[in-house]
Structure 1
Amino acid sequence: MAIYKNCSCRDEESGRRLGKSCPKLHGRGSQRWSTTHGRWAYQLELPPHADGRRRNPLRRSGFPTLADAEAELDHACGLLALDADPGVRRQITELMLATLKATRQLPPVEEVRRKVRTGQDLNRQITVGEWLGEFLKRKRRIDETTRRLYATHIRLYLDPYLGGIRLDRLRVSDVAGMFDAIEEFNDVITAARASGDPEQLAGVKYRRPVGARTMHSIRATLRHALNIAIKQDRLLDFNPAAVVELPVAVRPRPVVWSEERVTQWHADHARHLATQDGRSALAAYISAPRPSPVMVWTPVQTSAFLDHARSHRLFALFRLIALRGLRRGEAVGLRWRDVNAAAGVIGVHWQITQLGWTPIQGKPKTDASDRTIAVDAETLAALQAHRARQARERLALGEDWIDTGFAFTDELGRPLHPQYVTDQFYLLVYEAGLPPIRLHDLRHGAASLMLAAGVELKVVQETLGHVSSTFTRDTYTSVFPEVAAAAAESTAALVSSSRRPSGPRRLRVVWPGLTGR
């Protein structure tokens, strides 16, 4: 280990650089080195290779002052002193040399210390984008819907904004900056749509503003990928995605279609319809503004829908969703072998979901979703009538019938496409003249109907297939106006019944320290 001066002077005869042998570098008197000529350098012996071969010393030059050279030499010595293990010291040495070659600077001591303490591979350099690709390859035991969600988040957001950053240098500010950029682009989309300018609209075609819930989902994907990098590969010792603050993702609460809201909606729909040139009445009906993204029918409106849908070949399916709260994929995936008419129950053990446009069959996503639920007698009767109709269709078709075992099929016996069920639902709602809701809102309504009927929250939770009753209460419950009014009257009646017939008794208050009549 040594600190010295050198320069770029050359020998006049040979043309070779003189380096530290230049006579101009030597000082006068007590000064060893010239104060005006040359620049400072240092030399440091490095640990040998794994096979014992001597490694060339680390030589660094070009420092303007002695203090600068001493500071970097101390830095290098501090890195080599982090661990006495020869293997670790070799890794530190290779990291130092690679970092100097790439950045002309030594790696930070604290960063290397954290890596050494957590047992990370010091010489594996991987970008965030490369790790996200590796992460997606490793997720082999997830359903295709989740895989597609991860891939979409990586393709649209994580890779474009963070992909080029080295994984071990990803900071909280980088992740926060990504979400700031997403919010800025939201403003661009909103402004383009408000302007109506074709050129501006062309730049945001097929793009929608990213809401708070989607941002939380994007962060969850990144956090999960980084957790694996920490726990499995030890590429990180801190997850920057875990501490980034995002806007609160408020889940929309269901709103009931009261008479006042229905009246207002008809007026708004009439104005909306006047602006929908060239669109069908059904399309305009579905896209008309609503008081809330999640709307729930009253019991009277739900009954009116079921009455109108009674002659439809999917009546039993819609009744199951409206009264038992099945998800669309669970209703479409119901199999006859899971219907036990004698016990009055059905098993929700299979589903048909949608990946893009492609139907995907499989088991329910969670253990709570895989369940057995009770079914009322009228719904069982509807299922039996549906099975009889299916048997007639099968008999009429003969050998051309495709036996899939599903309760709800097309006329050839094939399983239904989930989107077909949604389209039929919207058509029935439109024909019935009811205020519009989504097919999934029937599930919200089923929870509200059960709670209004006095069913315990735990039973509602298990019927819907939720893990937590808190989630059921916060997400899938609404209070019908008539139920709220009845609750208010019941509360008031309880107080009124507690009054004494002779009227309230007058109380005498005696204050301490005071006397009087």
Structure 2
Amino acid sequence: MEKEGTTYKRCSCRDPNGREQGRTCPKLRRTGGGWNPTHGTWYYAIDLPHHPDGRRRYARRGGFPSQQAAQDQITHIQALLAITGEDDDAGLRRIADLITAAIRGKQSLPGVEDIRRRFHRNADLNPTMTVGQWLDQWLAGRKTIRRSTLLGYTSYVNHHLKPAIGDIRLDRLAVSHLDAMFTAIDERTSSIRAARASTDPDTRLSVRGQRITGNATKQRIRAVLRASLNTAIKRGLITHNPAAHVELASGKRPKALLWTPQREARWRKTGEIPSAVMVWTPAHIGAFLDRAATHRLYPLFRLIAYRGLRRGEACGLHWADIDFDHATIDIRWQIAQLGWATAMDRPKSDAGDRTVPLDTATIGLLHAYRAWQDSERTDYGDGWPDTDLVFTQSDGQPLHPSQVSDLFHDIASALELPPITLRDLRHGAATLALAAGADLKAVQELLGHATITLTADTYTHLLPDLASEIAENVVRLIPRRRKQDDDPDDPPATGLVAGGR
């Protein structure tokens, strides 16, 4: 064999000893020496660049119906090898590896123009990697980001991206694939919202624990995919980023709306929920806490309702982080959830690592709760784990965040309260703080938001009834000698007309 290659015929006939005759079968040739067109199939063989250690390498493949078909394969291999110069030993070996892999895998030889583009970009010459394989590889290389951030990325990859587009070849991913993925996400979200808004308890129960995917989450899913594909471009695996061309609705955080009597009445009549973020009135919150007061996790719900802790932060609160003398708690941990798996992790951002002041009643409640937990630990015995967690299961094991959400919905449903999520209970704490006179900066620090813009975008709308009360309080704070502002029938003082002094 040589660089020009050769074609020949083989068959599977066997000699009297049972050995395959291959190229030596007499039936392959006619009497005059020409090839027998009805016996055997055509093969090709061609030398490839040697292995780095000098060992010889060649390509051979058969089963072709004609000599021309086999010769076309030789021509194809020669064109692939011609992509690089003869003095580029490393490049020749890369292409030879590609040819060998295709033959061993019983695959067609790769296209010349596609390999030419990849070779000149110094890209991976084997384009068979799927989107799912690349996402796994990309996640494994993220070594410098927070664990909680990595958990979020992994959740988007495993629960949204891989199920929808993971089997698509990376270099064939198109905008149409992503449009279909986000359409399916929207359809699922609509069905969950419709079920949650139903007045039928069984219908609401059918979607309990299922999470909707709002516009902001879809923006984050696209951002993760876009970042991963940008890395793939830098490594030469692809040439363009389809995630950069997907059109999505704005991910702007929805305004928090109060469940006023009017909105609640319409919901009970039509099932309509006016905003993605709904907030209970103080009466709703009070009714919920009154019912929750009989449960062992009542202090957890109180902390979320009054102080706006995130669910994972409440589940991950440690006794060592409660300062009873100064009535504060340090938020230093959270139980992060990835699918059903959980992990103890740091707060989701630097702003999340914060100190939260407590009221006297909550401090007293936590004192009593610690004493009760100590007796519970004693009754349980040596099997109680030493986690130092404030809130645990009845056997001392850490709480699962989803179980806390389920308990929240059970209590709220039993009271037939208008629907909110456990996260919305945190929103209620923020809105109540604003209505009580706290400024946006104070609420930002209370909730652990990374920016004050995030706080303002969500909580611009105060509780209408308490907002009116604030307006009245402002007037009462300013000392006045006259009271005519309070009596619309009392005319203004003279001189306060146009041109007066």
TM-score range, shorter chain: 0.5 to 0.7
Confirm whether residue 236 of structure 1 aligns to residue 238 of structure 2: yes
Q: Name 1:107's counterpart in structure 2.
A: 112
1:115/1:236 contact within 8 Å kept: no
Deviation at 1:411, TM superposition (A): 4.6
Q: Name 2:183's counterpart in structure 1.
A: 183
Q: Name 1:15's counterpart in structure 2.
A: 34
Name the CA distance, whole Å, in 2 between partners of 1:499 and 1:79: 95
Structure-to-structure mapping, 1:11-50, within 5 angstroms: 13-15=32-34
Which AA in structure 2 matches 1:244? V
Q: Deviations over 1:56-110 (max 9, x none)?
A: 99xxx989xxxxxxxx9xx9899447x985534664677699899966785338x
Residue 389 (structure 1) aligned to one of 368, 372, 394 = 372
Which AA in structure 2 matches 1:479? L
CA distance change for structure 1 residues 237 and 152 in 2, over 3 Å: closer, same or farther?
same
Name the CA distance, whole Å, in 1 between partners of 2:303 and 2:55: 76
Name the CA distance, whole Å, in 1 between partners of 2:414 and 2:130: 55
Q: Deviations over 1:205-254 (max 9, x none)?
A: 999997655644543443343334344x4433543323333344454432
Deviation at 1:255, TM superposition (A): 1.5
Which AA in structure 2 matches 1:254? A
Q: Name 1:448's counterpart in structure 2.
A: 431
Structure-to-structure mapping, 1:367-516, within 5 angstroms: 367-394=350-377, 403-430=386-413, 434-475=417-458, 478-485=461-468, 501-505=495-499
Residue 298 (structure 1) aligned to one of 281, 296, 299 = 281
SS in 2 for 1:108: helix
1:447/1:477 contact within 8 Å kept: no
1:452/1:480 contact within 8 Å kept: yes
Name the CA distance, whole Å, in 2 between partners of 1:476 and 1:366: 20
Q: Name 2:90's counterpart in structure 1.
A: 87
CA distance change for structure 1 residues 134 and 451 in 2, over 3 Å: closer, same or farther?
same
SS in 1 for 2:356: strand
Which AA in structure 2 matches 1:107? V
Q: Deviations over 1:418-462 (max 9, x none)?
A: 344334433443555643322221111111122223323233222
Question: Root-mean-square deviation (CA), in Å?
Answer: 5.3
Name the CA distance, whole Å, in 1 between partners of 2:347 and 2:253: 23
Which AA in structure 1 matches 2:297? L
Name the CA distance, whole Å, in 2 between partners of 1:414 and 1:77: 63
Q: Name 1:151's counterpart in structure 2.
A: 158
Name the CA distance, whole Å, in 1 between partners of 2:362 and 2:348: 26
Q: Name 2:13's counterpart in structure 1.
A: none
Q: Name 1:67's counterpart in structure 2.
A: none
CA distance change for structure 1 residues 248 and 128 in 2, over 3 Å: closer, same or farther?
same
Q: Which consecutive residues of structure 2, in runs of 5 or more, have no partner in the other structure? A: 1-28, 37-46, 60-66, 70-75, 195-206, 479-483, 486-491
Name the CA distance, whole Å, in 2 between partners of 1:422 and 1:434: 15
Which AA in structure 1 matches 2:367? Q
Deviation at 1:481, TM superposition (A): 0.8
Q: Deviations over 1:153-172 (max 9, x none)?
A: 34421224x2xx2x3x335x
SS in 1 for 2:129: coil
Q: Name 1:225's counterpart in structure 2.
A: 228
Confirm whether residue 131 of structure 1 aligns to residue 134 of structure 2: yes
Aligned residues: 426
Name the CA distance, whole Å, in 2 between partners of 1:499 and 1:62: 109
Which AA in structure 2 matches 1:259? P
Name the CA distance, whole Å, in 1 between partners of 2:185 and 2:330: 46
Deviation at 1:256, TM superposition (A): 0.4
Name the CA distance, whole Å, in 2 between partners of 1:188 and 1:472: 28
Which AA in structure 2 matches 1:177? H
Q: Name 1:116's counterpart in structure 2.
A: 120
Name the CA distance, whole Å, in 1 between partners of 2:453 and 2:52: 59
CA distance change for structure 1 residues 178 and 379 in 2, over 3 Å: closer, same or farther?
same
Q: Which consecutive residues of structure 1, in runs of 5 or more, have no partner in the other structure? A: 1-9, 18-44, 64-71, 195-204, 269-287, 507-517
Q: Name 2:63's counterpart in structure 1.
A: none
Deviation at 1:121, TM superposition (A): 4.2
Name the CA distance, whole Å, in 1 between partners of 2:147 and 2:239: 26
Please give the TM-score of this superposition, normalised by the length of structure 2.
0.65
CA distance change for structure 1 residues 380 and 49 in 2, over 3 Å: closer, same or farther?
closer
1:99/1:106 contact within 8 Å kept: no
Deviation at 1:479, TM superposition (A): 1.8
Deviation at 1:148, TM superposition (A): 4.3
1:94/1:123 contact within 8 Å kept: no
Name the CA distance, whole Å, in 2 between partners of 1:402 and 1:95: 55
Deviation at 1:485, TM superposition (A): 4.0
Name the CA distance, whole Å, in 2 between partners of 1:317 and 1:210: 26
Name the CA distance, whole Å, in 1 between partners of 2:377 and 2:185: 54
